[in-house]
């Protein structure tokens, strides 16, 4: 069973590298784009390490994140909008490099790498804290409300991490236009959060009390 899980994870990992590479290098018209290469390293090296850790310590979590398929219409729309956002942002970044449209001031690329890696560490901490995390909105058997650690600060720390994770990508790719596109993630994730909380209030015991305890959904003192 674990061998088949490993094979599935490796296939999807390699497919992800190929897909992102195509979306970046083809519009750029070259593979000699250093920002894209840096982005691929920053994105996929930690992802590979996280996958190995989950495979060894929490194979069920890895399996759930590999095989997740949304059933709710609202969440399917959210996934589709997110996919279109990534397609547009990556393709535009490549075209931006090819045609030299607009670039960030010096230092933004390094800042983007730092923000990305910190956000990825936060994402990993959320996975460690909450054993019930899934890519789909569902309440699992015997699931309990997690209200410690990052969950004691905001109700959706995973989405908090992904906001900064995704917004740092255009910085690494040195594409201001792609950053504007990636800002669409904020209303997309707000829509997902609202729908997710409706489900959790109905199906997860103690979630209403948790909402009263932790006021903010995504960003402390803002939302």
Please classify residue 175 by burial: count the beta carbons closer than 10 Å to its beta carbon, then call 0-12 exposed, 13-18 middle and 19+ buried.
buried
pLDDT in tens, the chain (223 residues): 577 888 889 999 999 999 999 999 999 999 999 999 999 999 999 999 988 888 888 887 777 777 766 666 667 778 889 999 999 999 999 999 999 999 999 999 999 999 999 999 998 888 888 766 655 555 555 578 888 889 999 999 999 999 999 999 999 999 999 999 999 999 999 999 998 898 888 888 888 999 999 999 999 999 9
Tokens representing residue 86 in the block: 């990534």
pLDDT at 132: 62
- The 10s digit of each residue's pLDDT in 87-119 is 999 999 999 999 999 999 999 999 999 999 999
Among the listed residues 6, 178, 155, 9, the one whose alpha carbon sits nearest the alpha carbon of residue 90: 178
Which domains does the chain carry? 2-213 (1.20.120.1630)
Q: And the tokens for 219?
A: 């960003």
Residue 217 carries which DSSP code? S
Dist. CA 60–CA 147, nearest whole Å:
22
Q: Residue 11's pLDDT is what?
A: 93
Nearest Cα to 196, choosing from 151, 135, 148? 135
pLDDT confidence of residue 53: 86
How far is it, in rounded angstroms, from Cα 74 to Cα 96? 33
Phi, psi of 45, rounded to the nearest 5 degrees: -65, -50
Give me the DSSP letters along 39-68.
HHHHHHHHHHHHHHHHHHH-HHHHHHHHS-
pLDDT given for residue 2 in this prediction: 73
Q: What is the pTM of this model?
A: 0.89
Q: How far apart are CA 217 and CA 189, in angstroms?
A: 11
Question: What pLDDT score was predicted for residue 3?
Answer: 78
Q: What is the pLDDT of residue 130?
A: 77
pLDDT for 128 equals 82
| Burial (Cβ within 10 Å: 0-12, 13-18, ≥19) of residue 156 | buried
With beta carbons less than 8 A apart as the criterion, state whether 133 and 60 touch.
Answer: no
Nearest in space to 130 (alpha carbons), one of 105, 150, 100, 113: 150
Predicted confidence at residue 137, as pLDDT, reads 52
Terminus-to-terminus CA distance in the chain, angstroms? 42
Helix and strand numbers, DSSP H then E, in the chain: 9, 0
């Amino acid at each position: 069973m674990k061998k088949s899980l490993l094979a599935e994870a490796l296939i999807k990992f390699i497919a992800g590298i190929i897909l992102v590479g195509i979306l970046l290098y083809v519009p750029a018209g070259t593979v000699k784009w250093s920002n894209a290469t840096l982005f691929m390293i920053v994105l996929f090296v930690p992802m590979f390490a996280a996958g190995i850790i989950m495979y060894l310590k929490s194979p069920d979590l890895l399996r759930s994140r590999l095989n997740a398929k949304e059933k709710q219409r609202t969440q399917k729309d959210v996934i589709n909008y997110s996919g279109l956002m990534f397609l547009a942002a990556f393709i535009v970044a490549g075209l931006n490099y090819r045609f030299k449209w607009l670039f960030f001031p010096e230092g933004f690329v390094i800042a983007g790498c730092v923000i990305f890696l910190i956000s990825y560490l936060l994402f990993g901490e959320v996975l460690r804290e909450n054993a019930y995390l899934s890519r789909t909105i569902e309440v699992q058997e015997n699931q309990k409300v997690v209200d410690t650690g990052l969950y004691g600060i905001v109700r959706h720390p995973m989405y908090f991490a992904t906001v900064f994770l995704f917004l740092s990508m255009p910085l690494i790719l040195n594409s201001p236009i792609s950053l504007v596109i990636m800002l669409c993630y904020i209303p997309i994730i707000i829509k997902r959060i609202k729908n997710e909380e409706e489900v959790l209030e109905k199906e997860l015991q103690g979630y209403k009390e948790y909402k009263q305890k932790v006021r903010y959904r995504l960003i402390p003192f803002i939302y």
